[in-house]
Amino acid sequence: MEMSICKTLLFPLLTIALFISLPQTSRAATNEAYTNFVKTKCNVTTYISLCEKTLIPYASSVKTNSTRLCKAALDVTIKASKNASSTVSTLRKQKGITRIEASIIKDCIEDVKDAVYELKQAVEAMKHLGDKDKAFQLSNAKTYASAVITDADSCTEGFSGREVNPTVKEMINSSMANITKLASNALALINHLY
């Protein structure tokens, strides 16, 4: 008698326990699979740990879609570029900035503006990879992503050999280095898309 009560109670309880635990373990497994997808893709980039750090947060929306991963990489670069732009703009308004510094910083802001424009164009091209002119769109995306690197370098080169406050130089340098690395990673992901 007691045994049978135990059995009749235990079975539904076990069933409930299974229903609760199964989706959780499988959800965890799925998330891990998405994270591994990002890690595997990031392996082709030059700055692997930066790639993982910036793109793993997008894993659950990227799932296992390489095109979406490329778009996320471009979005991250846009964010960093906008951030760099505001950092550089703040420097320009600082007290004690010389005319030469102000002029170099102004050019740099233009470079970053161009970079943001190119990144947005690259995102647009990525959206059209399903079109008939797929090869053309892919090639555009690559061209725009590499133009971003050129623009960030052009800002940094504007400072070389010029008399610029070392702190200003260092801050701009590290902001530009960030854009260069993120754009290089995005380009590598686009290059390995197919």
Rg of the chain on CA atoms, in Å: 24
**What is the nearest approach in angstroms of ligand NAG to the Cβ of residue 143?**
21
- Count of CB atoms situated within 10 Å of the CB of 53: 12
Residue 157, CB-side half-sphere exposure with 13 Å CA sphere: 8
Decide whether 73 or 147 has the Cβ nearer to ligand NAG.
Answer: 73
110 part of the interface to ligand NAG, by CB under 6 A: no
49 exposed, middle or buried (CB, 10 Å; 0-12, 13-18, 19+)?
A: exposed
**What is the nearest approach in angstroms of ligand NAG to the Cβ of residue 128?**
10
Place of tokens 């130089």: 169
The DSSP H or E segment spanning 26 is helix 2-42
Whether the Cβ atoms of residue 62 and residue 69 lie closer than 8 Å to each other? yes
Token digits of residue 190: 């686009």
Decide whether 39 or 92 has the Cβ nearer to ligand NAG.
Answer: 39
**What is the nearest approach in angstroms of ligand NAG to the Cβ of residue 13?**
40
8 exposed, middle or buried (CB, 10 Å; 0-12, 13-18, 19+)?
A: exposed
Decide whether 8 or 40 has the Cβ nearer to ligand NAG.
Answer: 40
Report how many residues bind ligand NAG under the rule CB under 6 A: 21
30 part of the interface to ligand NAG, by CB under 6 A: no
**What is the nearest approach in angstroms of ligand NAG to the Cβ of residue 45?**
10
Residues 111-170 that bind ligand NAG (CB under 6 A): 130, 156, 169-170
| Residues found near ligand NAG in the complex (CB under 6 A) | 39-40, 43, 54, 65, 67-68, 76, 79-80, 83, 87, 130, 156, 169-170, 173-175, 177-178
